[in-house]
Chain A
Amino acid sequence: MAIKVLKPGLATTVQDAGRTGYYNVGIPLSGALDQYSFRAANLLVGNDENTAVLECALMGPELEFQRDAVIAVTGAEMVPKLNGALASRNEALMVKAGTVVSFDFMRTGARAYIAIAGGIDVPVVLGSRSTYGLGAFGGFQGRKLQTGDIVPVAAPKRAAKVGKRVAHDLAMPLPKELELRVVPGLYFHRITDESARTFFEDTWAVAPEADRIGYRYKQGRPLKFKERAQPFGAGSDPSNIVDAGYPYGSIQVPGGLEPIILHRDAVSGGGYAMIGTVIGADMDRIAQMQPNNKARFVKVDLDAALAARADRNQRLQRLRAALA
């Protein structure tokens, strides 16, 4: 079974739960940016929840199915169309052989997930089927899908139940304004007390440069770094440090101007001071932010981060129970 790419969309890639264990040589996590919606899509079509899917950013693809298949579309509000007829999101859909699946424009959210029963059948590279674009490996030939690609799909492990749905309260929320919880730390002590305050006071807008590597934010007041004689090996700008590893979710502010939150295709290290880290539970929510969506950063401590993590885990458990 395979699907033919008639139009690739803006940035459609194969992703799964991601690739662990290679960040020490610069190979990032990769994987679906919104892991919750990714898992929901798989559970809807009867896949193991870590099965490879298609992730679509901002504009969906047009796909021709060569055989009957069950699919589900989750994440961003991007309504699927089967041979032009509108169908439902967050629901297991029957797609007959020869059907063209296309999508309405993305209303809210930034990433939709298309799971197909059986899963996208590309080679496993370093433990994952996820695409790593900068390294040009994983996924479908190490790149975004292009017109004419024939994407292989594996045989389903179990029969999918057409019509299975994610209840509204268990779907990924898609607000246009949200609060992102941050544990200050790393090099937070390098910014002035005033900047340490304004960073959390200001409302920030997602800049057009927001992708799988990182999300850039603008419109807040610039941050000032404390003056110092730069340590040996650090660059000359006060926002520079001796090149270090960047945690996934860490926030760097090159030149003090625009904060960048590194996401799952992160550059693994460099010489810009990181002022804190977005909590694990909020990383999926960043994935659904469109350019110009607004965020406020909220200072939390480690215990709050762990409590939010427990809430997220419980929600995922309820999703699993609901779709079992």
Chain B
Amino acid sequence: MATGTARYSHGADEHIFVELSEEMSLDAFFKGMAITTALTKKKVPGVTEICPANASYQVRFDPDVTHPREMMKLLQQLERDMGSVELQLNTRIIEIPVLYDDPWTTETLMRFRERHQDPASTDIRYAARINDYPSVDEFIAAHSGSPWFVSMVGFVAGLPFLYQLVERAKQIEVPKYLRPRTDTPKLTVGHGGCFGCIYSVRGAGGYQMFGITPAPIFDPAQGLSYLKDFMCLFRPGDIVKFKAIDRDAYDAALKQVQAGTFKLRIRPVDFAMKKFLADPAGYNRQIEEVLYGN
């Protein structure tokens, strides 16, 4: 991997911001994960926040404990150390059921039609068309067909940004709304630029809305089994596989959520960058076998 391309910047006295690449790439994301994982292990005195993002990362620290210039040197050294490391991630794969083209996001998108590029269409029809899919069904097959990396968690608590594990030519790309909506249903599956997302809370948003998941991903009350350890489901580096479900399955899942019995399929998985790049489709099938095997 090329080194020395990263750009380092002091965010005043308490932060260092590192842009690994101007454009989104799996390579930059992986490098950020590797560096921030190594930094976490180092337990540098004074560091309070280590935040990997899509193609960058930032660190917050107490400059009275570690001087910002020392911190920068240390981060630059970490980048050099990564140069020869095999990019491998021990992570999890999580299946997220989605009711695509659902009544709730449809009701919401109709309310904000004048803020959209194509007021006569719906978000998912528009996205299918501009990404050259002949039908919404084929678009859904592509969206739910290949897994996605959680490339960043944030904006608000527990909200995952998702980057699909396909070649760049196959990436789904859509513009954000012309003007942001003031409302988005909780658990909307959205997309803006090349990133997917799941809205963890109800609120403003500018991403196109494709569907909704019944699976809570953020809950301060931590009611469900998979949120017992922590109130946010997603961590950067998780792999997500969407599964299209119908209305009956959605309603059944909601009942389980209300009863506190809802479960997600979550399996540990190792992801090797080199193997993926050699054969993306074949490697994705292997990952799926981990998810659905016993």
Q: Which residues of A contact B (CB under 8 A)?
A: 20-21, 23-27, 125-126, 132, 134-137, 142, 182-183, 185-186, 231-236, 241-245, 247-250, 267-271, 274, 276-281, 302, 305-306, 309, 313
Specify which chain A residues have a CB less than 8 angstroms from the CB of B157 in the assembled complex.
25-27, 132, 134-135
Whether B168 and A232, one on each chain, are in contact in the complex, defined by CB atoms closer than 8 angstroms, is yes
Min distance, Cβ B187 to any Cβ of chain A, angstroms = 15
Interfacial chain B residues near A182, Cβ < 8 Å = 12
Q: Report the separation of the CA atoms of residues A243 and B151 in the bound assembly, to the nearest whole angstrom.
A: 10
Given A231-B23, A247-B58, A247-B60, also A26-B15 (CB < 8 A): no
| Cβ 8 A contact of B54, one of A126, A242, A306 | A242
The verdict on B85 contacting chain A, using a C-beta distance below 8 Å, is: no
> Are B13 and A280 touching (Cβ within 8 A)?
yes
Given A23-B51, A25-B154, A234-B23, also A245-B17 (CB < 8 A): yes
CB distance from B76 to the nearest CB of A (A): 16
Contacting residues, chain A, for B161 (C-beta < 8 A): 243
B153 cross-chain contacts in A, Cβ below 8 A:
24-26
Question: Bound complex: CA of A219 vs CA of B25, how far in Å?
Answer: 38
Segment of B99-107, B119-127, B193-201, B256-264 in the binding face: B193-201
Contact A233-B11, Cβ < 8 Å, known A24-B236, A136-B220, A137-B220: no
CA of A215 to CA of B69, assembled, Å: 29
In the complex, the answer to whether B155 meets A280 with C-beta atoms within 8 Å is no
Q: Chain A residues near B54 (CB, 8 Å)?
A: 233, 242-244
- Enumerate chain A residues within 8 angstroms of B155, measured Cβ to Cβ: 26, 267-270
Residue pair A248, B15 in contact (C-beta under 8 Å): yes
**How long is the Cα–Cα vector from A281 to B11 in the complex, in angstroms?**
13
- Given contacts A26-B157, A232-B194, A247-B11, whether A242 and B17 have CB atoms under 8 Å apart is no
Give Cα A241–Cα B201 distance, bound, in whole angstroms.
Answer: 24
Taking CB atoms, residues of chain B closer than 8 Å to A313 are: 64
Which chain A residues border B60 with CB–CB below 8 Å?
23, 247-248
B188 at the interface (CB under 8 A from A): no
Q: What 0/1 readout, one digit per residue, does chain B (13-40) give for beta carbons within 8 Å of chain A? A: 1110101011111000000000000000
Taking a contact as CB atoms under 8 Å apart, the answer to whether A245 and B23 are in contact is: no
Contact across chains for A271 and B12 when beta carbons are under 8 A apart? no
Produce 1/0 per residue, B31-69, CB < 8 A to A. Answer: 000000000000000001111111111101001100011
Ordered by A's residue number, 13 sampled pairs between the chains whose C-beta atoms are within 8 Å are: A21-B48, A24-B49, A24-B51, A135-B220, A233-B195, A244-B53, A247-B58, A249-B15, A250-B11, A269-B51, A269-B152, A280-B12, A313-B64
Given contacts A23-B60, A269-B152, 17 further A-B contacts (CB under 8 A): A23-B51, A24-B51, A25-B154, A25-B158, A185-B11, A186-B9, A231-B24, A233-B24, A233-B194, A242-B22, A242-B55, A243-B195, A245-B57, A269-B51, A271-B192, A279-B12, A280-B63
Distance in Å: Cβ of A250 to nearest Cβ of chain B: 6
Q: Which of B135-143, B227-235, B241-249 contacts A (4 or more CB under 8 A)?
A: B227-235
- How big is the B interface, by class? 35 or more
Inter-chain contact A306/B63, CB cutoff 8 Å: yes
Q: Are B55 and A244 in contact (CB under 8 A)?
A: yes
Closest 7 CB pairs of A and B: A233-B24, A231-B23, A137-B220, A247-B11, A268-B154, A26-B154, A277-B12
Q: How far is the CA of A281 from the CA of B15 in the complex (A)?
A: 13
Residue of B21, B55, B153, B156 most packed against chain A (CB within 10 A): B156
- B176 proximal to A (CB < 8 A): yes
Q: Is the CB of B218 within 8 A of A135?
A: yes
- The reply to whether B13 and A25 contact each other, CB–CB distance below 8 Å, is no
Instruction: State whether A25 touches B12 (Cβ < 8 A).
Output: no
Residues of A within 8 A of B55 (CB): 233, 242, 244
B10 within 8 A of A: yes
Q: In the bound complex, what is the Cα–Cα distance between A270 and B13 (angstroms)?
A: 21
A278-B235 Cα distance, complex, nearest whole Å: 29
Q: Which residues of B contact A274 (CB under 8 A)?
A: 11, 17
Instruction: Say yes or no: is B98 at the interface (Cβ < 8 Å to chain A).
Output: no
* Closest partner residue, chain B, to A24 (CB atom): B51
Chain B residues closer than 8 Å to A186, beta-carbon distance: 9, 11, 17
- Residues of A with C-beta under 8 A to B203: 134
Is the CB–CB distance between B23 and A242 below 8 Å?
A: yes
Q: Which residue of A lies closest to B16 (CB)?
A: A247
B232 contacts which chain A residues (CB < 8 A)?
25-27
Question: B218: which A residues are within 8 A, CB to CB?
Answer: 135
Q: Is the CB of A277 within 8 A of B15?
A: yes
Q: Are A267 and B156 interface neighbours, CB within 8 A?
A: yes
With both beta carbons as reference points, the residue of chain B lying nearest to A306 in the complex is identified as B13
What is the minimal beta-carbon distance from B53 to any residue of chain A, in angstroms?
Answer: 5
A250 nearest CB neighbor, chain B only: B11
Question: B156 and A134: CB pair below 8 A?
Answer: yes
Q: Chain A residues near B49: list those with CB within 8 A.
A: 20-21, 23-24
In the assembled complex, B83 has its CB within 8 A of some CB on chain A: no
Q: Which of B12, B22, B48, B152 has the most CB of A within 10 A?
A: B12
Give Cα distance in the complex from A302 to B68, angstroms.
8
What residues of chain B lie closer than 8 Å to A280, measured between beta carbons?
12-14, 63
In the complex the two chains form, what is the Cα distance from A279 to B48 in whole Å? 17
Q: Is B175 an interface residue (CB 8 A)?
A: yes
**B contact residues around A137 at 8 Å (CB):** 220, 231
Selected contact of B68 from candidates A20, A234, A306, CB within 8 Å: A306
Considering the chains assembled together, what is the distance between the CA atoms of A279 and B49 in angstroms? 17
B56 contact from A142, A244, A276, A281, Cβ within 8 A: A244
